[in-house]
Amino acid sequence: VQAGRSGRRTAGRVRRVKTEAAGQRATSRGTYSGLLGTNVEIKVIAEAGSEGSARVIAEASEQAALAEMVRLQSVFSVFEPSSELCRWRAGDDVTPSAELADVLGAAQHWWTVSGGAFHPATAPLRERWLRAENDQIPPSEDELAALAAGLRELPFEVSGSGVRRIGDCSGVELNAIAK
């Protein structure tokens, strides 16, 4: 599985499938847009005793990979209000799944080891600069200082007992780490 924009591998369950017998190969390839906020190309090469069997294996593997990405999107999307992350960010009474807790934990780890250079809650700052670009009016120094002050700490904490909100989590985006 490859993410179209970055070319980096993304989480999925794609396997190159081979059988013991020397056989025929088949390739299944699909391009999908709007998965986890990017374009995705899935290419599976399968080998089996016949071309027909190889094609069935390749197509089934592609569909399995696609289904896994759709499932992950239901956890990590910031564009789908029904996603687990969006509901958690909004303050809904959502206990993060193990997957969401793991990625929040990884974000906390990289925030810590980077001295805050990596921050998963920069959405308000990014949105302000996008508005400045659109309006052609940069933010004031006071406004930037207030936005920067909001980035001094993480708005959540992950520990052995789970994930705890300790601030406004509405700006948490995990795109930089979940993909």
Average pLDDT, stretch 141-158?
Answer: 95
Beta-bridge partners for 31: 41
- Note whether 165 and 92 are within 8 A (CB): no
**Amino acid sitting at position 100:** L
pTM: 0.75
Mean pLDDT confidence for 18-34:
76
What percent of the chain stands above pLDDT 90? 77
Please, which residues have CB within 8 angstroms of residue 31's CB and are 6 or more apart in sequence? 4, 39, 40, 41, 42
Angle at CA of residue 24, ends 22 and 25, nearest 5°: 115
pLDDT of 113 higher than 80: yes
Query: Which amino acid is located at 70 in the chain?
Result: V
Angle, to 10 degrees, between the axis of helix 98-113 and the axis of helix 51-76?
70
Q: Is the pLDDT of residue 15 over 60?
A: no
The mean per-residue pLDDT over the stretch 141-149 comes to 95
Inform me whether the pLDDT recorded for 20 exceeds 50: no
